[in-house]
Structure 1
Amino acid sequence: MMTDQSYISDVAIPPGEYLEEVLEDLVLSQAELARRMGRPPQVINEIIKGEKAITSETAIQLEQVIGVSAQFWNNLESEYRLVLAKEQELLKVQKETEVVASFPYLEMSKLGMVKRTRVAVEKVKELQKFFGVSSLFNIKNVKEYSPAFRLCEKDTISREAIAAWLRTGHLLASEQDVADFSKNKLRDNIENIRSLSLEPDPNKMLSTLTSLLNACGVALIVIPHYPKTYVTGATFWYGKNKPVVMMSMRGSWADIFWFSLMHELAHILLHDKRITFIEGNTVSEEYRVQEEEADDFSQETLISKKSYEKFTSKFDFSPEAIFRFSQSIAIHPGIVTGRLQHDKYLSHLQHHHRVRYKWK
C-alpha cells in the first residue's frame, strides 16, 4: 500500500493516478471503493481521470476507507491545481508577449522600474508587477492609467508609454515625503517659485523647487520622457491629499519647462483633484476648457498681460530689448523669447537668451 508522504511537483499529474495505484495495491475496484465511500461510481471514475477534484470531504472518506491521510490527498490536489493554473498562466503570458513592444521597456529599465532582460516572457511578468495587474490587457481599465488611453487620436503617440510614464510618477511620488497640502500656501509661494527661473544652475533650481513645493504639500517628479509620449507635464493626486506635478525633460528648453510647470500648478489650484490632467488632453469640452484656463494662468503668472502688451506695442524684439524687459519683470529672458515665438513675434529660429537645461 502507498504510504503517506509529501508531494511537490512541477508536472501536472492528476491525484487520481495515485489513487488508482493505491487501489491496485489493495486489489480494490473503483466500484467497490464507491460502495464503501457511499459515492456514485462515476464520481470515483472522474477523480481517477482527473476530471473531478478531490474535495476535503472526499479526502476524509479516502482516509477512512484506504488509510492514506486526508491531508495527503488535499495536498496532492492542491499541488495539481496549482500546476495547472501555472501552465494556464504561462500560456496567457506568452500571448501577452505580443504587446510588450508597445511599452518603453528599455527606458523603464534604465530608471530601475523593471528588471533588465531580453526574454519576452520575463518582460511581461515585470510589466505586470510594475503596473500591479494580472494581465497587460487590463491596464487601460485601471483608473490610474485610463487617462492615457483617453487622449486624442494621434498615430505616433503610445498610450502604453504614457501609462508607463504615469505609473512611474505614482511610484516615485509614493516615496516623496511632503507636508500636509495647503492650497493657500501654494498660492502664496507662486512668486517665490517663479523667481527660481533666474537660477542659472538647473540642478540647484530643481532641488530648491522640489523643497519649496514639498513644503506646500506638493510632490514634484522630474524624469526623462518615454519615447512616443510627447508630453511635458501631468498632474494627479496620490491618495487623497498629495497632489503630484510630474514633469518630463522633453526638449529641455527652460521656457517650456516653466510654462508647463505653471500650467500643472494651475490644475492643482483651480481644478477638481479627482482628475488626472495630461498635457494636450482635449478629448472633451471639459478638459479643453480646463486646459485653456491652465494656459491662461501660466501666461499671466510668468508675464502679465498688461506688461506684455506694453512691451510688444513697441515692436522692438531685439536681444537687448528682451533682456531689459525681462529684468523689469524679474524673469529669465528666455521665457520672454519663448512667449514671443509662441505669438509669432519671433521665428522659431530666433532663440534670443533661450537656454536648455542640462539635468544630472
Structure 2
Amino acid sequence: MGHIKLIKSSQDHEQALARVMTLMDFDPAPDSAESDELDLLAFLIEKYEEEAFPIDSPDPIEAIKFRMEQQGLIKKDLVPYFGSASKVTEVLNGTRSLSLNMIRKLSAGLGISADVLIKEPCAKSAISKEINWDAFPITEMRSRGYFEGFKGSINELKEYSIEKLNQFLTSVPNGFYLKPALLRTTAHLRSNDKEIDSYALWAWQVRVLQKAQLEQLPVKYVKGTVDANWMKKLAQLSWSDQGPKLAKEFLNRHGIHLVIEGHLPKTYLDGAVCICASGNPVVALTLRHDKLDNFWFSLMHELAHIALHLDGTETWYLDNLDAEGGDKVEQEADALAQASLIPSGYFNSLEMQDTSSVRKFASSLSISPCIVAGRVRHELNDHSKFGKAFRDKVSNHF
C-alpha cells in the first residue's frame, strides 16, 4: 500500500484522484493491499469533498413543488397541510412562512424532511444578507411592545437582536418583503423633504400588519364598497361623541381593518392603507396630530385610496399629509376626502368667523364642528382661530 495521508488541499485532492484512477486500471483483487488502499482513498476523498464542496439542502418551497410534481399533486391537494387554498398560494409564492404545524403535516404526509422545511427560503435568505440589522430602532420598538413576550432588558435584546427581529419580521406574511430597498417599487409614498428612517418605517408596517392579523372581521371586503356615498355616510358618524369608535365599527362591518399605531421617530406618517394577507384592506392611522379633525381627514384620505387607487399593483399607500400638493394620485385622494366631509362649493371659510357659525354649518351637514373648524384653520392658514374651541383629542377614544 502506498503512502496515504489526509487530504487537506485541492492539490492533495487531485493526487488522490489520480492514484484512484491508477488503482482502478489494475482492477485489484478483493482483500488485496491495493483494494484496501482504494477503499481508504475513496473514503478520504468523500470526506474532503463534503467539506470543500457542500451541497445545500433544497429550498423548502422548491422541495414542496418537487414533491407535487413527483406525486402529480395540484394546489388543491395541499389544502389539508396548509389549512386553506389562500395559504397554499401564499406559501408557494413565498409570501407566507411555513408554520410549525404546516411543517409537521408536510413532513408526515408528503415525506419531506423537517430539516429541509425548517430551512429559510432562498429568497428570504438573500434579503436577510442585505439587511443592516443595527438600523432598526429596537429601543423604541421594545418600549412599544413590538417584541411580544420579550421581558428582558434592552442589553439582552441587543444581544439577541437579529433573532428577535427575524421573529418579528416573520410574524406576518410578507413581513420580510417590505425591505426598504423594495419600498419604491411596492409602495406609493407621500412625503416632504425630510429624510425618512426606512427601517423605522419597515418596523411600523410590520406592526400594523400584526395588529390587523389579530382582528377577526365579520365579513370579507367586497371590491367597490368604498365610494363617495359610502364615505359621506361614514362622515356623519363624526357628529356623535363616540364618532371614532363608531367609525371603526363601521369599517369592520364592511371588511376593513382600522389600526391605530403611533408613528416611529423619523417616519413622519399620518396614515397608510394596504391589503393584508386575508385580502381585506387595512387603514392605519398614527394620530401624529392628535386632533379630531386630523383623524377624520386622515381616515377619509386613506379610504379615498381604497376607492380610487388600491388595485393590487402597489402594496401600500404611505402618507405624510403635511406634505403639500403631492402627485396626481394624492390630489385625487385629497379631493375625495374633502368632498366626503364637506361637499365641494358648499363652503366659504370667510363666513365662519365664530364658534356659533361653525356649529350651525356643521349641524346642517350632520358632521362634527371640529371638522368644520379644522377646514377653516387650514384654508386661512390660521391655526389659532377659535382659540381652544374644537380641539378635541382623538387618542382618548382608542
Change (3 A) 1:263 1:152: closer
Q: Distance in 2 between matches of 1:54 and 1:190?
A: 57
Q: Distance in 1 between matches of 2:253 and 2:390?
A: 31
1:172 maps to amino acid: K
Give the superposition deviation at 1:303.
1.0
The number of residues matched between the two structures is 285
> Any idea what SS the aligned residue of 2:187 has?
helix
1:355 is the counterpart of 2:392: yes
Report % sequence identity: 21
1:186 is the counterpart of 2:223: no
Aligned to 2:38: 35
1:186 maps to amino acid: V
| Post-superposition CA distance 1:319-360 (Å, at most 9, x none) | 221122111221111111111111116344644322112244
Give the superposition deviation at 1:306.
2.3
> Any idea what SS the aligned residue of 2:206 has?
helix
Q: Distance in 1 between matches of 2:55 and 2:375?
A: 73
Mapping of residues 1-360 of structure 1, within 5 Å = 34-37=37-40, 39=42, 43=45, 46=48, 51=52, 96=132, 98-101=134-137, 104-109=140-145, 111=146, 113=148, 115-117=150-152, 118=154, 119=156, 120-132=158-170, 139-141=179-181, 147=187, 152=191, 154-178=193-217, 179-187=219-227, 188-201=229-242, 205-239=243-277, 241-274=279-312, 275=314, 276-280=316-320, 288-309=327-348, 312=349, 314=351, 316-344=352-380, 346-348=382-384, 350-351=386-387, 352-357=389-394, 358-360=396-398
Greater gyration radius: 1
Q: Distance in 2 between matches of 1:53 and 1:271?
A: 48
2:300 maps to amino acid: M
CA contact (8 A) 1:140 1:146 kept: no
CA contact (8 A) 1:114 1:130 kept: no
1:336 maps to amino acid: V
CA contact (8 A) 1:108 1:114 kept: no
> Any idea what SS the aligned residue of 1:305 has?
coil
Give the superposition deviation at 1:214.
1.9
1:106 maps to amino acid: R
Change (3 A) 1:211 1:313: closer
> Any idea what SS the aligned residue of 2:391 has?
coil
| Post-superposition CA distance 1:53-73 (Å, at most 9, x none) | 699xxxxxxxxxxxxxxxxxx
> Any idea what SS the aligned residue of 1:307 has?
coil
Q: Distance in 1 between matches of 2:132 and 2:238?
A: 45
Change (3 A) 1:332 1:137: closer
> Any idea what SS the aligned residue of 2:311 has?
coil
Structure 1 gaps of 5+ residues are 1-30, 56-78, 80-88
CA contact (8 A) 1:222 1:249 kept: yes
> Any idea what SS the aligned residue of 1:241 has?
coil
CA contact (8 A) 1:186 1:213 kept: no
Q: Distance in 2 between matches of 1:329 and 1:299?
A: 13
> Any idea what SS the aligned residue of 1:186 has?
coil
| Post-superposition CA distance 1:17-70 (Å, at most 9, x none) | xxxxxxxxxxxxxx98652256286x268479x656699xxxxxxxxxxxxxxx
What TM-score results when the alignment is normalised by the length of structure 2?
Answer: 0.60
CA contact (8 A) 1:341 1:347 kept: yes
Change (3 A) 1:153 1:144: closer
2:135 maps to amino acid: V
CA contact (8 A) 1:231 1:280 kept: yes
| Post-superposition CA distance 1:76-100 (Å, at most 9, x none) | xxx9xxxxxxxxx9xx99x955323
Give the superposition deviation at 1:264.
0.6
> Any idea what SS the aligned residue of 2:281 has?
strand
CA contact (8 A) 1:103 1:160 kept: no
1:164 maps to amino acid: A
Change (3 A) 1:325 1:177: same
Q: Distance in 2 between matches of 1:186 and 1:44?
A: 65
CA contact (8 A) 1:335 1:354 kept: no
Give the superposition deviation at 1:167.
1.2
Q: Distance in 1 between matches of 2:332 and 2:192?
A: 22
Structure 2 gaps of 5+ residues are 1-33, 57-114, 116-124
2:391 maps to amino acid: R
> Any idea what SS the aligned residue of 2:297 has?
helix
CA root-mean-square deviation:
4.1
> Any idea what SS the aligned residue of 1:262 has?
helix
Q: Distance in 2 between matches of 1:207 and 1:33?
A: 82
CA contact (8 A) 2:273 2:302 kept: yes
CA contact (8 A) 1:104 1:161 kept: no
Give the superposition deviation at 1:176.
2.3
Change (3 A) 1:45 1:279: closer
Q: Distance in 2 between matches of 1:114 and 1:157?
A: 29
